[in-house]
Amino acid sequence: MNEPSSVTLGKLKAALETGGYTCVLWANGELLFSRERGVKPLLCWIREGKDLRGALAADKVVGKAAALLYAYMGASAVYAGVAGEAAAAVLARHSVFAEIGRTVPRIRNRAGTGFCPMETAVWDVEDPAEAFALLQQKVYGAQ
């Protein structure tokens, strides 16, 4: 896989850092950004039916749950300020170019008292479509 333009990924990274966003995505000529935490922005964009194939993304924290969602949407490149080891492995396995600021063994919950509940929900999942269904259920409940 060819490395995407570092300028484009760099611009998304700069927007992430200077705009106070948690996630910035460039997909098919559309710039998407969010200040919501966790996987919710990714789930929302997927549920809205946006064509995210080939997307470039900059995200503050990428755990296994987010990595599986990036694979599900068909992203081509992701910058992660912090990424879990499992997330890095998922991105590599699905041929998503990853630039990672800092790698940690596993993503912790916001209180720092345990592991991220989204990461825990998909810890034993390898299929991005299965992860999307599980995460959607966890975040939005039965619909």
| Segment 27-40 mean pLDDT | 92
Q: What is the mean pLDDT of residues 35-62?
A: 95
pLDDT in tens, 60-116: 999 999 999 999 999 999 999 999 999 999 999 999 999 999 999 999 988 989 999
Residue 53 has pLDDT above 80, yes or no: yes
Cα within 13 Å of Cα(115), Cβ side:
15
The pTM for the full model equals: 0.93
H-helix segments, 3-143: 6-19, 40-47, 64-73, 85-93, 117-121, 128-140
Asked if 142 and 134 count as a contact pair (C-beta separation under 8 A), the reply is no
Taking residue 6's Cβ as centre, other Cβ atoms within 10 Å add up to: 12
Tell the CATH superfamily of the 6-140 domain: Hypothetical protein TM1506 (3.40.140.30)
pLDDT at residue 141, as a whole number:
87
Average pLDDT, the chain: 92
Query: Where do the domains of the chain lie?
Result: 6-140
